[in-house]
Structure 1
Amino acid sequence: MIRKPDRVFNRDGEWAELAAFAESTSPHVRLGVISGRRRQGKTYLLEALAEATGGFYFTAQEATSSDSLREFGAALADHSGGRAPYALGSWDDALRALYETVPRGLVVIDEFPYLIRAHGPIPSLVQRALDPRGWAHQGSETRLLLCGSAMSVMGKLLAGNAPLRGRAALELVVRPFDYRTAARFWGIDDPRLAVLVHAVVGGTPAYRHAFVREDVPAGLADFDDWIIRTVLNPSVPLFREARYLLAEETDIREPALYNSVLGAIAAGNTTRGGIAGHIGRKATEILHPLNVLEDAGLITRQSDPFHGRRSSFRIAEPLIAFYEAVMRREWTRLERGNRVAAWGNSQATFLAQVVGPHFEWLCREWAMDAGPEVFGELPGEVAEGVVADPVNRTQIQVDVAVLSSALPGERRRILSLGEAKWDKPMGMRHLDRLRRARDLLSVKGYDTSATILACYGGAEFDADLRAAAADPRILLVDLATLYG
């Protein structure tokens, strides 16, 4: 396999898939599609692959079709050692020239959505080139990778009746680093500090270097100062990044509405009705914005495992959640340079609306990755859910519900019910609430005979709870376990 350069951190799985694609000798392996939100390192990864294989690499720009053709012709000429740029009259000519100039090996076209915006039919032209009588089959052994950051555009390339549907041998999404990998990437070994940093910048690798000027918190005591001198500093690139992430999505036509939807979710209104009520719109009026944000990978939708028709939404990009909950309401103060006051005014909100929900999500991630020794078998589904308690006329929020895979004709097994608290000590009252939820679900027909009750704590567990954990059906997960 093509050796991954030492400068590429992690990404072993992604590199293996790309290298296998580039080295394939199968005549059916001709097209791959690579996508992922911005700043995840797609370009860095693909540039390294093109360099390792001697392939052709072209990055499209936001330009007219004519300008893009000139840039493409110049790149082809440079790759072939020609002195003058290729004169290309159309994208039909461009693709023919591509396969003639690079008859074998790897071709990478990055930021492909820009070419689609400049010349809409280009996916159909690529399809024609890949057809049995197209240029890609006329003595060519070229492997073509199309890459882009506009998730809503890239997601449609291979969907439905799209021209390229059924023609890709590789469909790879480059995702943010998981929370453990992100901690290693930032060089953070204190799990409490790792959670706080991840709640702000997530697992996006690009934010580690140029976006914060190589500035990493020196320790937990430095976190507040780090926030003030980086994320809340108008002279640091990360300051406006959340706004750019939204503006770069081509399907977003009404930024104010989309910002309001994200702000509602960041404020804890995670259901469709709650979001609509928060922004003063009808539920039907926010269907389209929710779908666009989901297609763009900026929010995710999670079904409540205990209520088939109930869904909740969460912001997938932590920096956007931080912006909506903290920065947006303090924007005027921040632009005037009053960062210390803005952060002092926002710390309670940060803990309640950013860190708390983020910690719950990290706990669900931990549970989803748990081996069979933790819950008795591999989880089939991990989600948050709500259990109705009609006797007490209340609802019990379950932060980490772990269920087995659903099998026809069998009762759904609940492997675990969990509650997560970031900054509050946990005690027997939390365990009692989980017991009540377990009993209510048993009455509803779920199999709770082996359910493990789990308390996920960012603070401490009291003595009574620690003593109760001698029961193997009670699990305590602290920060060290979360990052272990």
Structure 2
Amino acid sequence: MDKPAEMFDRDFEWAELTRFAALPGPRATLGVVSGRRRQGKTFLLDAVTRASGGFMFTATETTDADALRQFGEALARYRGQPTPFRFTHWDEAVTELMRIADVGGPTVAVIDEFPFLAKASPSLPSIIQRALDPAAQHTNTPVRLLLCGSALSFMGKLLSGNAPLRGRAGLELVVPTLDFRLAAEFWQIDDPHTALLTNAIVGGTPAYRREFTQGDTPAGPDDFDAWVTRAVLNPARPLFREARYLLAEEPELHDTALYHSVLAAIAAGNAARGGIADYLGRKSTDLAHPLSVLQDVGMITHEADAFRRNRSAYRIAEPLVTFYHAVMRPAWGDLERPGRAPAVWQRAQSTFRSKVVGPHFEQICREWARWHASPDTHGGQATRVASGTVNDPTAKTSHEVDVAVHGETDNGRETLLAIGEAKWSDVMGVGHLERLRRIRTLLTARGSASGATRLHCYSGTGFTDELHHLAKDDRAIQLIDLPRLYDGE
């Protein structure tokens, strides 16, 4: 099956789906597809279904009886039957579904938004499991059943632990967001500075360019501010309320006010649980559940400190949510009135740079160091990249390391290949390099680094001539600017 010409990237996902769709053998087989909302899962599955002549049913949030009626009508249309199937329970529906590949070859059957069906009929996973049992396979045809959903907490549990479908799936595909390089290509933005600013707002979610902005992209650096006010801060455009809807669409998030408050605390720069608790005026222990739920639904990430495993940082996974809480939520009343967006955006410039672009730039630098930088840049193959904090007892202070690159020695032990500092708005100079040298000295004294640990400077603005001169003569000093982030290694 040829990938549709209008499908951007997704080569790996398409290859895996088409491989699964064409699996030989007489038995029915199960696959699970998941991923955050707006990533193009339905588009992928619809394309595979059309290319293979399969069946696709998209569930809605409704009652069990209505869902069965809709399913029966859809299946009858696919089978070319003049009257709908009248199923009284899902046992009958699943049994009939397993017979649709009666022409001999494998046939794809997709149930999209599967969590809606399982919510209305909690026994449905067990019914599917029973239909896939060896004892029931003699009545099945070679159906390639794909269950898809965006509720990450539900989909993650579908094949785990003692779940009925545990061990039954021949495919478990997670459709990711586009990384920052692919996102720039997808948005057709050639200027790295504009690409990163845009990515800091909309991230790598494909739907935000197609359905949500109808292809409206920043034409260049001079058009970026105008694009923000017309496409993101415009109350008539879909992106305006999208961050609010993302939480409302998650079935696990019942007290949305609490979850919005936790996200606001993280967007304000509070990465540790204690800082989030202080921001909200709550006890740290009170936040264990909401933080865990936000992590389960993929709204935040929980990352261990690069140097202290007992410390960690929470970060918002969706850039649009960070932008909403840092820039839009504090001025929501003004933004809802047409014509106020330019003034709000002008006032928010400092906040945007410090709370949105700065942290996002650091995250992009970590992604580059982990997935795009060559081993020659680090002096070895990167196996783990994180941020961290290093105490300086002599100066009675602590130092933040934005990018710490770990690798492995020949005997399998972890080693610190490089440490880096990321500055979005600053021209980096010798002072930044000396700070990194001081941190390397502290880590070497602790046995965590060595003289071979490289020093990386990441800047969105540039470097002084003196720093360029030092890096030219010393390969252990690496300067990474925006063109290198987007095109180099």
Alignment-derived partner of residue 304 in structure 1: 305
For 1:137 and 1:203, the matched residues in 2 are separated by 44
SS in 2 for 1:386: strand
> Aligned pair in 2 of structure 1 residues 69, 225: CA closer, same or farther (>3 Å)?
same
State the match for 2:442 in structure 1: 440
Q: What's the counterpart of residue 150 of structure 1? A: 151
The answer to whether residue 330 in structure 2 is matched with residue 329 in structure 1 is yes
Task: Give, in whole Å, the separation in 1 of the partners of 2:426 and 2:324.
Answer: 24
Alignment-derived partner of residue 70 in structure 2 = 71
Whole-angstrom CA distance in 1 between matches of 2:343 and 2:409: 51
* Compared CA separation, residues 357 and 26, structure 1 to 2 (3 A): farther
User: How far apart are the structure 2 equivalents of 1:283 and 1:262?
Assistant: 15
Cα deviation, 1:348-393, whole Å, max 9, x if unaligned, reads: 1011000000000000000001222221221010000001101001
- Note if contact 2:28-2:132 (Cα within 8 Å) is conserved in structure 1: no
Cross-structure match for 1:161 = 162
Q: Name the structure 1 match of 2:352.
A: 350
CA apart distance, 1:25? 1.3
Answer yes or no: is the 8 Å Cα contact 2:28–2:141 preserved in 1: no
Q: Which has the larger displacement, 369-378 or 164-173?
A: 369-378
Amino acid at match of 1:113: P
Offset from partner CA, 1:370-428 (integer Å, 9 cap, x none): 22222122101000000110100111100000011489884x31100000000111011
Q: Does 2:377 correspond to 1:374?
A: yes
User: Which of these residues, 415, 419, 422, is aligned with residue 420 of structure 1?
Assistant: 422
Structure 2 distance, partners of 1:467, 1:34, is 50
The answer for the alignment partner of 1:320 in structure 2 is 321
Structure 2 vs 1, CA of residues 68 and 202 (structure 1 numbering), >3 Å: closer, same or farther?
Answer: same
Q: Which residue of 2 aligns with 1:403?
A: 406
Residue aligning to 2:210: 209
Partner residue of 1:474? 477
Q: Which residue of 2 aligns with 1:361?
A: 363
SS of residue paired to 1:399 = strand
In structure 2, C-alpha distance between the alignment counterparts of 1:241 and 1:139, rounded to whole Å: 42
SS of residue paired to 1:101? coil
2:429 and 2:467 in contact (8 A); partners too: yes
TM-score (ref. length: structure 2): 0.96
Moved over 6 A (4+): 406-409
Query: In the alignment, which residue of structure 2 is the partner of 1:9?
Result: 8
- Whole-Å Cα distance in 2 between the matches of residues 323 and 308 of structure 1? 31
Q: Which residue matches 2:249?
A: 248
Match of 1:391 among 383, 389, 394: 394
Letter of the 2:65 counterpart = S
Deviation of 1:97 (Å): 1.2
Determine the C-alpha separation between the residues in 2 that align with 1:214 and 1:290: 35
Q: Distance in 2 between matches of 1:73 and 1:128?
A: 20
Structure 2 gaps of 5+ residues are: none
The one-letter code matched in structure 2 to 1:255 is T
Deviations 1:12-38 (A, max 9, x none): 011111111111115677111100111
Deviation at 1:262, TM superposition (A): 0.4
Deviation at 1:133, TM superposition (A): 1.4
Q: Distance in 2 between matches of 1:25 and 1:442?
A: 57
User: In 1, Cα distance between the equivalents of 2:449 and 2:28?
Assistant: 46
Gap regions ≥5 residues in structure 1: none
- Cα RMSD (Å) of the superposition? 1.4
Structure 1 contact 130–137 (Cα < 8 Å) conserved: no
Letter paired with 1:212: T
Local SS of the residue matching 1:163: coil
Q: Give the direction of change, closer, same or farther, for the CA distance of 1:276–1:133 in structure 2 (3 Å limit).
A: same
Shift in alpha-carbon separation, 1:115–1:406, aligned structure 2, 3 A: farther
Give 3-state SS (helix, strand or coil) of 1:8's partner. coil
3-state SS of 1:45 partner: helix
> Using the alignment, how far apart are the partners of 1:102 and 1:60 within structure 2?
21
Q: CA deviation at 1:447?
A: 3.8
How far apart, in 1, do the equivalents of 2:325 and 2:112 lie? 30
- Within the alignment, does 1:233 sit opposite 2:245 as a pair? no
SS in 2 for 1:182: helix
* Structure 1 counterpart of 2:346, one-letter code: G
Matched residue type, 1:48: A
Indicate how the Cα distance of structure 1 residues 28 and 358 shifts in structure 2: closer, same or farther if over 3 A, else same: farther
Q: 2:378, 2:27 → 1: CA distance? A: 42
Q: Which residue of the partner structure matches residue 277 of structure 1?
A: 278
* Partner SS state of residue 395, structure 1: strand
The 1:268–1:239 alpha-carbon spacing in structure 2 relative to 1, beyond 3 Å, is: same
The corresponding residue for 2:225 is 224
Letter in 2 for 1:442: T
Aligned to 1:453: 455
Task: Find the aligned partners of 1:259 and 1:406 in 2 and give their Cα distance.
Answer: 43
Structure 2 counterpart SS, 1:472: coil
Amino acid at match of 1:184: E
The normalised TM-score by structure 1 is: 0.97
Deviations along 1:435-456, one digit per CA (max 9) or x if unpaired, are: 1111111111124232110000
Identify the residue that residue 124 of structure 1 maps to in structure 2. Answer: 126
CA contact (8 A) 1:29 1:169 kept: no
Instruction: Give the AA of the match of 2:87.
Output: L
Distance (Å, rounded) in 2 between the aligned partners of 1:293 and 1:144:
29
C-alpha separation in 2, matches of 1:170 and 1:449:
46
- The total of aligned residue pairs comes to 481
Structure 1 counterpart of 2:99, which letter?
E
- Quickly say closer, same or farther: Cα 1:220–1:245, change in 2 above 3 A: same
Which secondary structure state, in structure 1, belongs to the residue aligned with residue 160 of structure 2?
coil
* Partner residue in 1 for 2:195: 194
Equivalent residues of 2:28, 2:145 under 8 A apart: no
After superposition, the Cα gap between the structure-2 partners of 1:371 and 1:27, relative to the gap in structure 1 and judged at 3 Å, is farther
| Deviation (angstroms), 1:258 | 0.4
User: What residue in structure 2 maps to residue 462 of structure 1?
Assistant: 464
Q: Which residue identity does 2:59 align to in structure 1?
A: A
Q: 2:108, 2:144 within 8 Å by CA — same for their partners in 1?
A: yes
